[in-house]
């Protein structure tokens, strides 16, 4: 799993188009190259080819979309290979936190506190957990606000109106809130607090023993990726709707649940790893774009109207076969397998993260071309 828009932004100037006297060059916005690779440096792949690729888009839009789509193809191909080598997987866990029925025999006595859960993500560069939804059972219908705090921010980083729609009947509300060890907009090693302010709640909420034998069976799974504990901050530790005073976090941990349940989804996310190593994809992206341009030129609907169409097609087909082979490898006429550029792309994952990137079939060493 990775954030595609982040990678596209990181690769925006990875490969460019070198200067050309062709009039179409002035419409190309992707001219810079951080990697030193330029698409039209490849023999036969000229700016003039852009005359034969797309009648529905202007050159500027076509080239921009081309670069954005091809970097994702290159990265996906690379990650597919890494998944086989590393035995990695994307979805690690999908669980409901409390897995026992609530007898609704004990209500939480409100006292102006902040009540919720403290979450401590496992130290991991590639694991992100999403609080998919929250489930409340109340003694009557009610509406109030649920907050998510990151201990590196005074104000809540997320909030959501919770509507309890039935008496003593659980109501699930979708959230989609992410928590991670090193949040991009926060800081590494923080804790999270999810909960509500009791003064906002009218109905009675129910709790149950947190340490009961069957009260949180899925903690065996959650414990691999995060620590979770109920917390109740006294009114004297609060500051409006800002995060409670953190020096009281340890003393606020409670042995009873907080009146609501959570559903989590934990996935591997290696966006940062790819972004940090984006330069290694330069040559592969250069060839991938060239292959796509040649494919589009061969599929050009009005090419038959061009005088030397047959000659152009033959030339483009020959270039396409050559560049596709250089990119992905293949087998020679003598039956000898030849590796392509994609086969030689490697990243040393060995010290990045043992959760998502387990090297089961031998180590991948260094970032290099072989």
308 located within any domain: yes
Same domain (yes/no): 137, 232: yes
Residue 115 and residue 165 in one domain: yes
| DSSP code string of 256-308 | B--SEEEEEEEEE--HHHHHHTGGGGHHHHHHHHHHHHHHHHHT-TTGGGSTT
pLDDT score of 2: 82
Residue 353 has a pLDDT of: 61
**pLDDT, position 350:** 56
Q: Are 208 and 102 in contact (CB under 8 A)?
A: yes
The fraction of the chain above a pLDDT of 90, given in percent, is: 61
Mean pLDDT of 126-140: 93
Same domain, 192 and 247: yes
Q: Which of 96-100, 147-151, 344-348, 350-354 has the lowest mean pLDDT?
A: 350-354
Residue 273: is it exposed, middle or buried by C-beta count within 10 angstroms (0-12/13-18/19+)?
Answer: middle
CA 309, CA 305: separation in Å to the nearest integer?
A: 7
CB 129 within 8 A of CB 299: no
In a domain, 353, yes or no: no
Domain range enclosing 313 = 4-88+272-344
111 and 241 in one domain? yes
Average pLDDT over the chain reads 87
For residues 362 and 305, the answer to whether their CB atoms sit within 8 Å is no
Residues in the chain: 370
Write the pLDDT tens digit of every residue in 25-61: 999 999 999 999 999 999 999 999 998 887 788 999 9
For residue 100, which phi and psi values (nearest 5 degrees)?
Answer: -150, 150
| Model confidence band, residue 141 (pLDDT cutoffs 50, 70, 90) | very high
Query: What single DSSP character describes residue 313?
Result: H
Angle at 6 between CA 4 and CA 10, to 5 degrees: 115
- pLDDT of 251 strictly over 90: yes
Query: Confidence class of residue 100 from pLDDT cuts 50, 70 and 90?
Result: confident
pTM for this entry: 0.72
Task: Give me the phi and psi of 312, to 5 degrees please.
Answer: -65, -45
Mean pLDDT computed over 144-167: 96
pLDDT of 98 higher than 50:
yes
Cα 54 from Cα 301, distance rounded (Å): 9
CB 290 within 8 A of CB 45: yes
Does 352 have pLDDT greater than 60? no
| pLDDT(248) > 50 | yes
pLDDT at 367: 36
Domain boundary among 227, 256, 285: 256
140-144, 165-169, 344-348 — which is least confidently predicted? 344-348
Estimate to the nearest angstrom the gap between the alpha carbon of 311 and the chain centroid.
Answer: 45
**Could you give phi then psi for residue 78, rounded to 5 degrees?**
-65, -45
Taking residue 79's Cβ as centre, other Cβ atoms within 10 Å add up to: 17
User: Are both 83 and 166 inside the same structural domain?
Assistant: no
**Interval 331-345 mean pLDDT:** 86
pLDDT in tens, 75-91: 999 988 776 655 555 66
Q: Are 108 and 208 within one domain?
A: yes
| pLDDT at residue 364 in the model | 39
288, 252: one domain: no
pLDDT tens-digit readout, 160-219: 999 999 999 999 999 999 999 888 888 899 999 999 999 999 999 999 998 765 566 666
Looking at residue 355, its pLDDT comes to: 63
Inter-helix orientation angle 282-298/309-328, to 10°: 150
Check residues 222 and 265 and name the one with the higher pLDDT.
265
- Residue 320 contacts residue 113 (beta carbons within 8 Å): no
CB-based contacts of 254, cutoff 8 Å, min separation 6: 210, 229, 230, 231, 232
Same domain for 84 and 118, yes or no, is no
Task: Sheet with 91-96: list strands edge to edge.
Answer: 91-96, 260-268, 127-136, 171-180
- 262 found inside a domain: no
Q: In this predicted structure, what is the pLDDT of residue 365?
A: 39
Beta bridge partners of 151: none
Q: Does residue 49 form part of some domain?
A: yes
The per-residue DSSP string of 228-262 comes to: EEEEEE-GGG--TTSPPPGGGHHHHB-SB--SEEE
Rounded Cα–Cα distance for residues 189 and 150 (Å): 10
User: 268-306, pLDDT tens digit by residue?
Assistant: 888 888 898 999 999 999 999 999 999 999 888 776 566
Q: Could you tell me if 187 and 288 lie in one domain?
A: no
Domain end marker among 256, 287, 309: 256
Is pLDDT at 317 greater than 60 in this prediction? Answer: yes
Is residue 331 located within the same domain as residue 281? yes
* 129 and 223 inside one domain: yes
- Domains held by the chain: number: 2
Q: What is the pLDDT of residue 366?
A: 38
Greater confidence, 359 or 250?
Answer: 250
Whether residue 265 is contained in a domain is answered as: no
Domain assignment present for residue 350? The answer is no
Does residue 112 sit within a domain?
yes
Strand partners for 114: 197, 233
Query: Where is 133: in which H helix or E strand?
Result: strand 127-136
Indicate if 132 and 246 belong to the same structural domain: yes
Asked whether residue 354 is assigned to any structural domain, the reply reads no
Task: Name the percent of the chain lying above pLDDT 70.
Answer: 87
CB-based burial label for 336 (10 Å; 0-12, 13-18, 19+): exposed
CB 91: neighbour CB atoms within 10 A?
10
């Amino acid at each position: 799993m990775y954030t595609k828009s982040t990678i596209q932004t990181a690769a925006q100037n990875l490969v460019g188009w070198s200067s050309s006297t062709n009039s179409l060059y002035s419409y190309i916005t992707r001219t810079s190259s951080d990697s030193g690779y330029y698409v039209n440096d490849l023999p036969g792949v000229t700016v003039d080819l852009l005359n034969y690729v797309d009648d529905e888009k202007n050159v500027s839009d076509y080239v921009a979309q081309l670069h954005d789509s091809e970097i994702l193809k290159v990265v996906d191909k690379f990650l597919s290979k890494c998944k086989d080598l590393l035995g990695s997987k994307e979805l690690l866990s999908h669980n409901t936190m409390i897995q026992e029925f609530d007898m609704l025999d004990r209500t939480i006595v409100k006292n102006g506190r902040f009540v919720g859960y403290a979450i401590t993500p496992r130290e991991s560069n590639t694991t992100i957990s999403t609080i998919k939804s929250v489930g409340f059972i109340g003694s009557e219908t009610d509406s109030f606000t649920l907050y998510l705090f990151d201990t590196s921010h005074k104000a809540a980083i997320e909030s959501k109106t919770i509507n309890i729609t039935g008496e003593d009947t659980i109501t699930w509300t979708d959230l989609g809130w992410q928590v991670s060890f090193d949040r991009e907009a926060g800081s590494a090693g923080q804790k999270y607090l999810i909960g509500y302010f009791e003064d906002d709640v009218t109905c009675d909420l129910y709790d149950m023993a947190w340490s009961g034998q069957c009260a949180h069976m899925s903690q065996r799974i959650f414990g691999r990726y995060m620590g979770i504990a109920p917390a109740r901050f006294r009114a004297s530790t609060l500051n409006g709707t800002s995060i409670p005073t953190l020096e009281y976090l340890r003393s606020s941990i409670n042995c009873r649940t907080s009146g609501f349940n959570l559903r989590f989804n934990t996935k591997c996310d290696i966006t940062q790893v790819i972004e940090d190593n984006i330069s290694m994809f330069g040559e592969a992206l250069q060839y991938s774009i060239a292959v796509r341009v040649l494919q589009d030129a061969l599929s050009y609907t009005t090419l038959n109207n061009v005088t030397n169409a047959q000659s152009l097609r033959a030339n483009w087909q020959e270039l396409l076969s050559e560049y596709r082979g250089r990119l992905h490898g293949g087998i020679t006429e003598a039956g000898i397998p030849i590796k392509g550029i994609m086969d030689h792309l490697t990243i040393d994952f060995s010290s990045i993260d043992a959760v998502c990137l387990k090297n089961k079939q031998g180590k991948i060493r260094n970032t290099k071309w072989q």
